[in-house]
Amino acid sequence: MEHKNAIVAVFPDHNAAESAVKKLTAADFDMKNLSVIGKGFHTEEKVIGFYKVGDRINFWGSRGAFWGGLWGLFFGGVFITIPFIGPVILLGSLASMIIAGIEGAVIVGGMSALGAALFSLGIPKDSVIEYETAIKADGFVVMVEGTTEDVARAKTILGSHNPTTIKVHTALEPTVAAKKVA
């Protein structure tokens, strides 16, 4: 069985996350192995509009340009509301896991859909809680999945953008629920 590796970096704002994603794409990382997670807007702001056209998403608010620009780069995305966190946008491979989990009712005991998706990839529960807490505090999570070499290369790139947290998760083994979805 092939085990995946992942690196997860938490950024304090969307500018740092966007800059890191642009560097990863410039370094020829396969977009199918990248995920970005964050709130679509501050909870105290009022969203003026939200709509989906084809594979692009557009909405107005302080981060509309950020999410709109990234949406076109990724293969899949989802906009969900997570209790106690609020509206969250996920782009990339993790979005597919969320959709599959919701469709298949694969939610892991008491976790949000986001937490269940991360946990089902093999991310330890304590790290899942840390990432959900960062998102709740308006942070942005950038995750790269791949070989040991890919993750090492991504760590160099992500680390150069001063993340608040950066963790490498090696030899991830998907949970039984994730294996059923795959």
- The first and second tokens of residue 104, run together, are 């298949």
What is the domain count for the chain? 1
24 within 8 A of 144, measured Cβ to Cβ: yes
| pTM passes above 0.75 | no
Find the Cα–Cα–Cα–Cα dihedral 41, 54, 19, 43, rounded to 10°. Answer: 0
Q: Using 50, 70 and 90 to split pLDDT, how confident is the model at 135?
A: confident
Q: Using 50, 70 and 90 to split pLDDT, how confident is the model at 150?
A: very high
Between 174 and 72, the higher pLDDT residue:
174
Whether 72 shows a pLDDT value over 60: the answer reads: no
CB atoms within 10 A of CB 10: 25
- The first and second tokens of residue 128, run together, are 């899942």
Domain encompassing residue 155: 4-181
Question: What mean pLDDT is predicted for residues 147-152?
Answer: 94
Helix (H, G, I), strand (E, B) or coil at 19: helix
pLDDT at 162: 95
Concatenating the DSSP letter of every residue in 45-114 gives: SPP--EEEETTEEEE-STTHHHHHHHHTTSS-EEEEEETTTEEEEEEEHHHHHHHHHHHTT---TT--HH
Q: Using 50, 70 and 90 to split pLDDT, how confident is the model at 48?
A: very low
Residue 134 CA to residue 95 CA, distance in Å, equals: 18
pLDDT at 116: 74
